Structure 1
Amino acid sequence: MSHLILHHYPSSPFSEKIRLALGYKQLAWKSVIIPSVMPKPDVVALTGGYRKTPFLQIGADIYCDSALICDVLEHEQPEPVLYPPHLKGVARVFAQWADTTLFWAAMAYNLQPKGAAVLFAQLPAEAAQVFAADRRAMSGNMQRHRPEDATAAYRSYLRRIAHMVEEHDFLFGTEPCVADFATYHPLWFTRQCVPLMSEIFAATPAVLEWMDRMAALGHGRMERFSAQDAITVAAGMDPLPLVGDVFQDEHGIPLGSQVTIAAETFGTEPTEGELVAATRTRYTLRRTDPRAGTVHVHFPRIGYALRAVAG
């Protein structure tokens, strides 16, 4: 039985990034479907406040953000690689661009009124309003593209991606790397979730061919699992031991301090707990929940803010 538990929902683009990475590595995993909007009591029981999708659970360890999840999957199953040695730097930089700049241009294009109408066509009328209100709450003061600007930017980005995949099967060569998975998921949302909007691919057929190659990687070996069962797993286990150099101080906040960690831009709800690690690449909080027991919640450093809780 797999010990990887992915908490996600079908139309979540960042979840598709991870589902496809699981397929690339041919991993077995358990699937917990979570709500797309708040409230998310089962999610918060495990994460302590983080409510973005997806997150990965391994026993009593909770890994937030798809960038960190990719690192964890690489550790779990080193072959085939997401971070080829000769591309390690450029692949990470490109993936960060795709997860931010490309993603927000694509989603502003995808969810303009005619795209949103397709997405919510089979749902009750109030579903679109609830979703919009939820995402406004997550956005805070974040600057959003106007649809016209997003369309122009998305077209330009697709042309640039096309230039890359006209030369190779994948962005940087004959095999996919983390940059391919990060680039694919907002385009997948256009093609699969709001197909009316996929006319934008007409000028870049090479992008569609690359997307077909990516989709063929599949989703690995998935087993359905309930949220309550996932919480029971966490409650019945101890977090994994922390190994190596667990403290690189950049904030003057010592281990053992009560802190919050929150995303810097979208989905800024904080998670509070005891800081038990601050490595070169990630933070780890220990927290206890009445249902989930003691868990370690892990965040990447990049894109997240660490703050001490006032005494």
Structure 2
Amino acid sequence: MNPPLDDLILHHYPSSPFSEKVRLVLGHKKLPWKSVRIPPVMPKPDVVALTGGYRRTPFLQIGADIYCDTALICDVLEHMRPEPALYPAHLKGVSRVFAQWADSTLFWAAMAYNLQPKMAVQLFGGPEQAKAFGDDRKAMSGGMLRLRPGDATSAYRSYLRRLAHMTDEHDYLFGAEPCVADFAAYHPIWFTRTQVPPMAGILQATPSVTEWADRMAAIGHGAFSKLGSDDAIAIARAADPRPAGSNWLVDSAFQDDHGIPLGSRVTIAAESFGPEATEGELIAATRTHYSLRRTDERAGTVHVHFPRIGYVLRAADAA
């Protein structure tokens, strides 16, 4: 059984910045969705039942298809509802490049500034909760180089000025309408403004960025309803994963850059943050994405999808 094509389930939690990116995209495209609230830190047994190991937030579920990483989720939503466009024809290249910068360089500078120790304690409700969150993210970070607060503050100020050069000229970063670049740049600034408001003074020097952020916030999250994680798992179990080429990832031609044939047992993991691997049978490796088939005793057979950029594919016996 396949679900209705608009039966979108977002697994997220309220203070997750990358979740805010997708929530706003759903609102922008006026796509109704179901909200499953997941824990911000491990253990996450209901998450792992669906993803097989991937635990970054958020991920999108459509029946028995699981889409990981907000870059891929944006592609899926664009294919489902092309208008209003996240990737306007005249901005296809630059909007993707800018979004990748915003989701990485801007994001990490902003979050190193936002989550200085005094703010972490306030945000998470006490020193023990802040330590638990910090320990969880340290485990996800591996050997990543993290900016110290002073360096992060300097970088964030500089990036905000660069954004201001764009928002001084347009309502949105590249013109009169928002594109994927806006949603990618907005979510770390949203975190500064809404989750750690004592830190928001850094925005005072760039008033046009604040005005742009107000316009982004006004987009809203659209129409959604709450759903329990057990119910989401039951939906996956009752559904059939969609075949390659009909799963909102329209490119289906095999692109072999690894010497690993389809049907092989493989693992896929993020290059850096969140290195937990998902293992399964490789059923697609296209120019834009990978897809794995895996079976879970609770969720049944699911297809888990990842973007190529930012992820590492290995044969399972070499992982």
Tell me the TM-score normalised to structure 1 length.
0.98
Please say which of residues 244-253 and 69-78 is displaced more in the overlay: 244-253
Q: Which amino acid aligns with 1:170?
A: Y
Which digits, 9 at most, give the CA deviation of each residue in 1:125-148, with x for residues without a partner? 421111111000000000000110
| Corresponding position: 1:268 with 2:272 | no
| Corresponding position: 1:51 with 2:58 | no
Quick one: which of 269, 275, 285 aligns to 2:292?
Answer: 285
Q: What does residue 167 of structure 1 align with?
A: 169
Quick one: which of 97, 109, 112 aligns to 1:93?
Answer: 97
Q: Which amino acid aligns with 1:82?
A: L
Query: For residues 127 and 259 of structure 2, what CA distance do their matches in structure 1 show?
Result: 50
Q: Is the 8 A contact 2:121 2:127 kept in 1?
A: no
1:86-235 counterparts in 2 under 5 A? Answer: 86-120=90-124, 123-235=125-237
Q: Which amino acid aligns with 1:20?
A: L
Query: For residues 85 and 119 of structure 2, what CA distance do their matches in structure 1 show?
Result: 35
Aligned-pair identity in percent equals 72
Query: For residues 11 and 76 of structure 1, what CA distance do their matches in structure 2 show?
Result: 26
Q: Is the 8 A contact 2:121 2:129 kept in 1?
A: no
Query: For residues 289 and 93 of structure 2, what CA distance do their matches in structure 1 show?
Result: 17
Measured after TM superposition, the shift of residue 175 of structure 1 is 0.1
Q: Is the 8 A contact 1:118 1:196 kept in 2?
A: no
SS at match of 2:282: strand
Q: Give the alignment's Cα RMSD to 1 decimal.
A: 1.0
Measured after TM superposition, the shift of residue 107 of structure 1 is 0.3
Measured after TM superposition, the shift of residue 241 of structure 1 is 1.1
Query: For residues 140 and 23 of structure 2, what CA distance do their matches in structure 1 show?
Result: 23
Which digits, 9 at most, give the CA deviation of each residue in 1:152-205, with x for residues without a partner? 000000000011011000000000000000000000001000000000001001
Query: For residues 125 and 206 of structure 1, what CA distance do their matches in structure 2 show?
Result: 35
Please say which of residues 107-116 and 263-272 is displaced more in the overlay: 107-116
SS at match of 2:190: helix
Q: Is the 8 A contact 2:282 2:292 kept in 1?
A: yes
Q: Which amino acid aligns with 2:286?
A: T
Q: What does residue 76 of structure 1 align with?
A: 80
Q: Which amino acid aligns with 1:73?
A: L
Measured after TM superposition, the shift of residue 245 of structure 1 is 3.1
Q: Is the 8 A contact 2:37 2:229 kept in 1?
A: yes
Measured after TM superposition, the shift of residue 15 of structure 1 is 0.1
Tell me the TM-score normalised to structure 2 length.
0.95
Q: What does residue 12 of structure 2 align with?
A: 8
Unaligned runs of 5+ in 2: 246-250
Which digits, 9 at most, give the CA deviation of each residue in 1:184-228, with x for residues without a partner? 000000100000000000100100000000000010111100100
